[in-house]
Amino acid sequence: MKRRLVILTEIISPYRIPLFNALARHSEAELHVVFLAETDPDLRQWRVYKEEIKFSYEVLPSWRKRVGGYSVLLNRGVGRALSAFAPDVILCGGYNYFASWQALLWAKVHNVPLLLWSESHQHELRRTRPLVEFLKDEFLHRCNGFVVPGQMAREYIHGRKINSDLIFTAPNAVDNDLFAAAATDARTNAAERRRELQLPDRYFLFVGRLVQEKGVFELLSAYAKLDEHLRRQIGLVFAGDGVSRLEMEEQAACISPGVIRFAGFAHREQLAAYYALADVLVLPTYTDTWGLVVNEGMACGLPVILSRAAGCADDLLTDTWNGLLIPPRDISSLASAMNSLASQRDLCANMGANSLQQISRYSAEEWSLGILRAMKVAGGGGD
């Protein structure tokens, strides 16, 4: 039986469009996505790829303001949008928006199951306040089910005294085919793309915001600890921007020999070339709900040096098989991992092939099947 599903989520993220498109193709669900805003220009530089959207959606009127370290987002029309579509199930992307609570109230009044789509896990470095934790528990225990991207998020929800039968996995994914095809093209035209992007012949790659909690200063320090002869052979490239960039450039200027390049923010269509021509992707983050750059790098055939604090660590990376796991904030372990992979190019190639094998199980289609399973149980359709 076809069920009407509303997904309530914050912005039109390029990462989510392929997932929603895959779900909309299924005959079991009639999908409508309610976005709380088009984008967050103060935090994200992503393009809004509306031309790729193949599902029903709307963007609610919104007002946003940053208060301290928090983003306050207020919306008009939540109840109107839900009533107009009359969903059989609601999937709510988070509990920290006023719109989430409005949707929860609407669902209770209209006796509609509400699922929470949550990526939180125990390694996140978020300030814990008694009132916030109380409200979080209140929201969680009023939901009819939960959708998580992987093992860490599942353990977190279960640890909040939620029955495991109510937790469903929809694995986080990117458009694997898009990145794989673009990576193949970049490697076919490697010399030209290196010139265009001003890339060294070999390099470690970081992709993401240049902020302290991503472990970027530890990455610079670990690179500086590599033997001089190795730094002459392999560089370090940062694809991204952020508040720490100037301080990082000052620290990088003191590292010699070696090539350190700050490429700035790169849109999706450029990123595959950075991945394809790199030796290793490195994400030494202190805290990350998931780390979709790891999906992207693996789809491009890269081995990964990954912090255990990343939400994807338990799912995407098998230590010594498709990369190396390291503790966060541990410069010595990071330098040792970088030295090991930079010195063994055949091992890197094998790990990259294993990454491709692993990431094939983390696709938009697999995500959509996870959502359908959750909908069936929440809507009384059985397993």
Task: Encode pLDDT of 370-382 as tens digits.
Answer: 999 999 987 654 4
Please report the pLDDT score of residue 122 as a whole number.
83
Cβ pair 26, 364 in contact under 8 A: no
Task: Write down all domains in the chain, each with its CATH number in brackets.
Answer: 3-173+363-378 (3.40.50.2000), 176-359 (3.40.50.2000)
Tell which wins on pLDDT, 314 or 40: 314
pLDDT at 43: 66
Q: Map residue 113 onto helix, strand or coil.
A: coil
**What pLDDT score was predicted for residue 383?**
45
**For residue 145, what pLDDT band results from cuts at 50, 70 and 90?**
very high
Q: What's the pLDDT at 126?
A: 61
| Mean pLDDT, residues 4-23 | 96
Report d(CA 245, CA 102) in Å as an integer.
39
Mean pLDDT value across residues 51-74: 88
What is the reported pLDDT for 96? Answer: 86
Do residues 8 and 90 lie in contact, with contact meaning Cβ atoms separated by under 8 Å? Answer: yes
| pLDDT, tens digit (0-9, with 9 covering 90-100), for 30-43 | 999 999 999 887 76
As beta bridge partners, residue 9 has 35
For 341, half-sphere exposure in the C-beta direction (CA atoms, 13 angstrom radius) is 33
Q: Would you say the C-alpha torsion 80, 83, 87, 89 has a positive or negative sign?
A: positive
pTM to 2 decimals?
A: 0.94
- What's the rounded Cα separation, in Å, for the pair 177 and 140? 35
- Give yes or no for a cis peptide into 303 (omega within 30° of 0): no
pLDDT tens, position by position, 213-269: 999 999 999 999 999 999 999 999 999 999 999 999 999 999 999 999 999 999 888
The answer to whether 337 and 348 have CB atoms below 8 angstroms apart is: no
Tell me how far apart the alpha carbons of residues 276 and 244 are, in angstroms, rounded to a whole number.
26
Percent of the chain with pLDDT over 90: 86
3 state SS of 180: helix
As a whole number of angstroms, the distance between CA 232 and CA 21 comes to: 45
